[in-house]
Amino acid sequence: MTSENQTYAGAGSSFDRSKAVSGLEVSMSDLVLSLPVIEQPKLRTDSVRKDVDAKGKEYWRSMDELADSQEFDAFVRREYPSQTEVLIDPVSRRSFLKLMGASVGLAGLAACTVQPKEEVIPYIKQPEEMVPGKPLYFATAMPRSGGAVGLLVRSNEGRPTKIEGNPDHPASLGASDVFAQAALLGLYDPDRSQSIEHFGGVRTWGDFLTSIMGRVSQASGQRGAGLRFLSESINSPSLAAMMQGILADMPLAKWHQWEPAKGSGAFSASKDATGASVATRYRFDKADRVLALDSDFMADYASGTRYARDWAQRRKVSTSSDEMSRLYVVETTITMTGANADNRIAIRPSQFEAFVGALASAFGISGGASSGLTQAQAEFALAVAKDLRAMGGRSIVIAGEWQSAYVQSVAHQINAALGNVGQTVFYSAPIEASPADHLASITDLALDMAKGKVETLVMLGGVNPVYSAPVDLNFVDAMQKVPFIVHHGLYRDETAEHAHWHIPEAHFLESWSDARAHDGTVSIIQPLIEPLYKGKTSHEVLTTFTKNNSAEAHDIIKGYWTSSSKSTDVERTWRESLHNGVLANSSTSETGTPTMVAIAATGGASNDGIDIVFRPDPHVYDGQFANNGWLQELPKPISKLTWDNAAYMSAKTAKSMGLSASLNAKGGDYEADVVFIEVDGRHVEAPVWIAPGHPDATITLHLGYGRKKAGRVGNDLGFNAGRIRSSNAMWFASGAKVRKTGKTYSLAGTQVHFTMEGRNAVRESSFEEYKKNPHFVNEEGPGPNKDMSLFPKYEYNGYAWGMTIDLNSCVGCNACMIACVAENNIPVVGKEQVLKSREMHWIRVDRYYTGAAEDPETYFQPVPCMQCEDAPCELVCPVDATSHSAEGLNDMVYNRCVGTRYCGNNCPYKVRRFNFLLYQDWTTPQYKLMRNPEVSIRSRGVMEKCTYCVQRIQNAKIDSEKENRQVRDGEIVTACESACPTDSIVFGNINDPNSRVAKLKSDTRNYSLLDDLNTRPRTTYLGAVRNPNPEIKRVPATRESLLEESA
């Protein structure tokens, strides 16, 4: 019996009764509390264990589950973790009942009112295209570093309410990613800067113009000397043209660029033999073999959506004669791409160049060393080289943005040697206006500032060097020497604090602009709404340095593109470009096969101490999304942490330092040891996170946290890894000293929340095995008799909605989760609530490991409501708030729900979410604009869940009914399906044998989750197939070794 059981059933034993109830009579009902504890059997019974062992494979989500620790066992017993605490304490139980009684009474009274008066406010003149109640869609694009993502934005009565990908845009092809989805919340963020400020006082744009004109005339008098601009990299052709115009007028002025997540190595290696910068793009849909050298290409900021989609094209297998690509990942940390690898090897950063050297020498490329590799690493390199050679011309070698110039150079050379260039790898002119080494650029600026050479500094477009510049540049001190600093950004951030003028930036959904995608395709960015806070675009700020300083962004953009247009009907071309979201034939042309510059290795780094890997955070990126609650609460793709960053390390490394992050049985949160990390005399304290698959003696720190001026959501979350990031160790630091501090910190990790108890949730096979046995998902036999049910029989004659989720192509990017949040008005609950397993996401992405903790296979499984035909939740609802529709949906009527939570208790898939508190913000006016008017907003005490986006189903049905036809396949696209970059989620009518979903459900890989329960879920999964190289041996995993590992 665990200690948890004791408090669970027998409060009397652990509770000082006399104190709590002194002066009260002990009633009969109270005696119940003193009944002896009921002995509960171990949940993961021996029979389950036997099943697992018979298959020889066990799937686990956390080290605790792997070790089957007492805490884990106690945690899984709790239906609503941390809720039982309230009920076992007699005093609070009594007050709970009192409050319940009172609230029932008050709720009754509150219902005794007539609906409040409501106004109808029509237009003065109704815009012609506007039909009240019918949303409109506008094409625009989200500008990114290194590209742009084309979007279609839904506008309900002039309010942008949902973002979808633009099918015509090369970086989207209709899908989107977490950043694009979350941009909606970014637009309506009430913490955005709302006024022009001068030393903290509110000013007007006119005041600013007066002030800046003085500086402009002074600067132009001295040909721009002392005038500096700082921006992120610019891939807006019109903005770049303005900037270059200004620099031509004032040749001594300088334009610096700084993005904390730009790699210098990638810049110096992306040059041809003449020294001209080139851009590289990849066609993963044409590659049979992919080798990622520390490249997280599926999560690439600019092109990850497209790359993941292309890659997944080659992963769709439906017959055993289909071919499938193979992905090798060699990496220094844990990434989404690594999790999807067929063969993966984790290597310390200080040994990475040696590995690449070994690989290079296998292709006859000199200039590197390969000493110090283990036998397994050397064999891996040789096996990969052999396999790539066999697939010459149909493979891709891609190096990560943050790897050294040498690694980049080797990747280019291998691609050339294999004949991939022109087949799967293409070179073109750079899409950025002026490619630069960002580190050199910001260093140059900081030095000049410190020397007093800078008189006017204009920081455009939200660049935040005070937070993000390398710590050894002392950017804040340098700023003190500059007499006139203008900061233009969405937030009054750390840099704005130290600037003299602050200009609020218009969000891209409020702006006219343009941007090139990763392949050069131009999109016009058009506003969906007037700037909420009179923000200015970068164009408008830059106009103050031109002759025409009152030009509006629209005129600048339209002027730029219509004047450069070769079309005979300029106006028509302009309108078509706006409508389509892309300028036809604007991608940059390929430059053939340039000879890429060859760069030698820099010499081995020392292996002493601990290596540090810096990475942008998967969700808040470089910190620019820190104030976005949707992104903060989204569990990180691999670690499933929310609201924090952490020091990721392997179990072995943690054990050697006596560190742990232990599961708290009450809430499913983690108590993590805090470590003190020192690099070059600078230090930071960070909570520990044990990451299976992480290289040993290495710690990964994610940037973007520890913000001080991010806003009410993002302030003081996590720690700022930038405090130990200096200009000589931007992405990797070696020789770090790490010690335990003795402190602990609560981490809100969701990896064990809503656990499936190891009941065979993920089914997978290798490609070899799949060819032999395409029915691998149903190895355990047919399951229970489908006709044996206590539920009354029901014939679904009309539509029968269903969904399939292909685990083979799901890359775990979380786009579905956040798309669902945006579409269905799902609230953010905050870290305190996530610690108690109360996150509200209707679809979650479970991450499973199998194999040894140092080299696990990783699988992702998105879990929405299964829409069971025989739904256990419906039977137990006392008020019929959840009931079945005639089309097989498990309907949820929020206004009827009284919050008994019986349904959530009875759901075997744990997909129902309960509003324990008033999570919705009912008062902030900006959020009222943001919400989808087609979905009820749920209040406290209401159960909610996925309904297959029933609002979209109903609207499509109404449209089809009006035309007297059936809903076409693909006409209804759920929010998750729409966002999915890899088309893993397919929704449709399973009664239509020609629908995509019906065909997928007849695939041999189709299976139901927990099919032994015979709930007949409408959501089914297609088993995963991996294609590992049989020549590469994995670290063998035995149960004993696993236990020892995690103990």
Q: d(Cα 648, Cα 631) in Å, to the nearest integer?
A: 19
Q: How far is the CB of 746 from another protein (least distance, A)?
A: 36
Chain centroid to Cα 180, Å, comes to 10
Token pair in block for residue 312: 């997944």
Which stretch of DSSP H or E encloses residue 1039? Answer: helix 1039-1046
Which stretch of DSSP H or E encloses residue 384? Answer: helix 375-390
Q: How far is the CB of 88 from another protein (least distance, A)?
A: 35
Q: d(Cα 198, Cα 184) in Å, to the nearest integer?
A: 29
* Closer Cβ to another protein, 134 or 1039, answer by number: 134
- Which residue in 915, 897, 913 sits closest to 905, CA to CA? 913
Burial 785-804 (b: 16+ CB within 10 A, else e): eeeeeebeeeebeebbbbbb
* Closer Cβ to another protein, 306 or 952, answer by number: 952
Q: d(Cα 123, Cα 646) in Å, to the nearest integer?
A: 52
CB atoms under 10 Å from CB of 370, counted, come to 20
- Given the structure tokens 């989609």, which residue do they identify? 309
* Closer Cβ to another protein, 707 or 957, answer by number: 957
* Closer Cβ to another protein, 605 or 800, answer by number: 800
* Closer Cβ to another protein, 569 or 880, answer by number: 880
* Closer Cβ to another protein, 341 or 950, answer by number: 950
Q: How far is the CB of 455 from another protein (least distance, A)?
A: 46
Q: How far is the CB of 894 from another protein (least distance, A)?
A: 6
* Closer Cβ to another protein, 639 or 825, answer by number: 825
Quote the radius of gyration of the chain (alpha carbons, Å). 29
- Which residue in 345, 398, 342 sits closest to 859, CA to CA? 342
Q: How far is the CB of 839 from another protein (least distance, A)?
A: 22
* Closer Cβ to another protein, 154 or 344, answer by number: 154
Q: How far is the CB of 950 from another protein (least distance, A)?
A: 5
Q: d(Cα 43, Cα 2) in Å, to the nearest integer?
A: 12
* Closer Cβ to another protein, 813 or 943, answer by number: 943
* Closer Cβ to another protein, 544 or 947, answer by number: 947
Q: Name the phi and psi angles at 448, rounded to 5.
A: -65, -40
Q: d(Cα 840, Cα 817) in Å, to the nearest integer?
A: 10
The residues of the shown chain that bind another protein, judged by CB under 8 A, are 114-115, 117-126, 131-134, 798, 883-887, 889, 891-895, 934-937, 947, 950-951, 953-954, 958, 961-962, 964
Q: How far is the CB of 882 from another protein (least distance, A)?
A: 8
Q: How far is the CB of 117 from another protein (least distance, A)?
A: 6
* Closer Cβ to another protein, 114 or 788, answer by number: 114
Q: How far is the CB of 820 from another protein (least distance, A)?
A: 14
CB atoms under 10 Å from CB of 508, counted, come to 25
Q: How far is the CB of 884 from another protein (least distance, A)?
A: 8
- Which residue in 181, 161, 634, 726 sits closest to 442, CA to CA? 726
Q: By the 8 A CB rule, do 359 and 384 touch?
A: yes
Q: How far is the CB of 954 from another protein (least distance, A)?
A: 7
* Closer Cβ to another protein, 961 or 1012, answer by number: 961
Q: How far is the CB of 599 from another protein (least distance, A)?
A: 58
* Closer Cβ to another protein, 423 or 936, answer by number: 936
Sheet with 159-165, strands from edge to edge, namely: 136-144, 147-156, 159-165
* Closer Cβ to another protein, 19 or 125, answer by number: 125
Q: How far is the CB of 111 from another protein (least distance, A)?
A: 10
Pinpoint the alpha helices (H) of 524-569: 538-543, 553-564
Q: d(Cα 439, Cα 262) in Å, to the nearest integer?
A: 8
Cα first-last separation, the chain: 20
Token pair in block for residue 719: 């720690």
**Beta bridge partners of residue 847, listed in sequence order:** 860
CB atoms under 10 Å from CB of 942, counted, come to 21
- Given the structure tokens 């609002």, which residue do they identify? 951
Token pair in block for residue 957: 């049905």
Q: How far is the CB of 798 from another protein (least distance, A)?
A: 6
CB atoms under 10 Å from CB of 107, counted, come to 11
**Beta bridge partners of residue 671, listed in sequence order:** 662, 746
Q: How far is the CB of 800 from another protein (least distance, A)?
A: 12
Residue type, 544: T
Q: Name the phi and psi angles at 171, rounded to 5.
A: -85, -5
**Beta bridge partners of residue 427, listed in sequence order:** 280
Q: By the 8 A CB rule, do 596 and 271 touch?
A: yes
- Given the structure tokens 């002194």, which residue do they identify? 22
SS3 state at 656:
helix
* Closer Cβ to another protein, 90 or 888, answer by number: 888
* Closer Cβ to another protein, 530 or 961, answer by number: 961
Q: How far is the CB of 757 from another protein (least distance, A)?
A: 31
Instruction: Please compute, for residue 456, the number of CA atoms within 13 A of its CA located in the half-sphere on the CB side.
Output: 21
- Which residue in 229, 223, 222, 199 sits closest to 211, CA to CA? 199
